[in-house]
Amino acid sequence: MDLIAACARQVEERLVEAEKGHDWYHIQRVRKLALYLQSLEGGDRSVIELAALLHDIDDAKFNGGNEEAGAHAARDILENLKAQPELIDKVYQLVLNCSFKGMQAEDHPNIELQILRDADRLDAIGAIGIARTFHYGGYKNQALYDPDIPVRKKMSPKEYRQGKSSTINHFHEKLLKLKQGMYTATATKIAENRHRIMEAFIAQFQAEWEGLDWNGGKKD
């Protein structure tokens, strides 16, 4: 079995019990997106594919906030699979900096990092992004929407994970901002359509919440 296939098998086995917005199917979608972006934007295909497979192996959202645990887990897996040290180091750096709080990829010449972050962000928006967001909100027993909870403008990583919010607020706090943060031209084009899908959903949600979709567009 080659390295990529062996790595994929280990990741799939480790994510059997994962929260379903960050499970093996998420990994597969990010992998496919990353490889598509690579085919048009360039970069080392093997490094990108391995990093896509390993980017959520120990997500900080589920391990108490340890941002480096995933990169260390990725290194351990690749070392156990006897990957070349240079390849391990490249994948380690991508996984370490993949998160939204990692280094700014626009300031880094590494096209592999830009592609990995674009692919991961693309899976956070659009129809799949909407579904994942509400699934995670349910997992956290978070309100769908609460008009009394304001949208947070600034927050620390701890506040982001533990502060009181709602699933609808998450769109305004993060997801609707992702389109403008894509790095590659290909991802930017994909993001434009997925962004419109989210905008339409939010508009319809608000209309139904206020009763405007059945009251002639007017509040009582």
Taking phi over 0 as left and psi of -120 to 50 as alpha, with beta for the rest, 155 belongs to: beta
Residue range(s) defining the domain that contains residue 203:
124-220
Is there a single domain that holds both residue 131 and residue 50? no
Query: Is 141 strand, coil or helix?
Result: coil
Residue 116 covered by a domain: no
Rounded Cα–Cα distance for residues 12 and 86 (Å)? 24
Query: Is the pLDDT assigned to residue 65 strictly greater than 80?
Result: no
Is there a single domain that holds both residue 156 and residue 72? no
CATH at 100: 1.10.472.50
Average pLDDT over residues 202-217: 84
Q: What is the CA radius of gyration of the chain?
A: 19
Q: How many domains does the chain have?
A: 2
pLDDT band at 181 (very low <50, low <70, confident <90, very high): very high
Is there a single domain that holds both residue 135 and residue 79? no
CATH at 200: 1.20.58.1910
Look-up of token digits 């930017």: 188
Please report the pLDDT score of residue 164 as a whole number: 76
Of 118-132, 177-191, 205-219, least confident by mean pLDDT is: 205-219
Q: What are phi and psi of 152, to 5 degrees?
A: -80, 130
Average pLDDT over residues 28-34: 98
Query: Is 31 strand, coil or helix?
Result: helix
Rounded Cα–Cα distance for residues 80 and 10 (Å)? 11
Give 119-131 pLDDT, tens digit per residue. Answer: 999 999 999 999 9
Q: What is the mean pLDDT of the chain?
A: 88
More confident residue, 127 or 21: 127
Q: Are 94 and 55 in contact (CB under 8 A)?
A: yes
**DSSP string covering 75-124, please?**
HHHHHHTT--HHHHHHHHHHHHT-STTS--GGGS--HHHHHHHHHHHHTT
Q: What are phi and psi of 63, to 5 degrees?
A: -120, 20
Average pLDDT over residues 31-37: 98
Half-sphere exposure of 138 (CA within 13 A, CB side): 9
Please report the pLDDT score of residue 103 as a whole number: 47
Neighbour count for residue 166 (Cβ, 10 Å): 20
Residue 112 covered by a domain: no
Average pLDDT over residues 45-49: 97
Give me the percent of the chain exceeding a pLDDT of 90. Answer: 68
- The secondary structure of the chain in percent helix, strand, coil, rounded to multiples of 5, reads 65, 0, 35
Is there a single domain that holds both residue 4 and residue 73? yes
Please report the pLDDT score of residue 20 as a whole number: 84
Residue 111 covered by a domain: no
Residue 194: C-alpha distances to residues 23, 32, 86, 191, 201 (Å): 21, 16, 36, 5, 11
Altogether, the residues listed in the chain come to a count of 220
The single-letter code of the amino acid at 140 is: K
Give the CA diameter of the chain.
67
Please report the pLDDT score of residue 145 as a whole number: 96
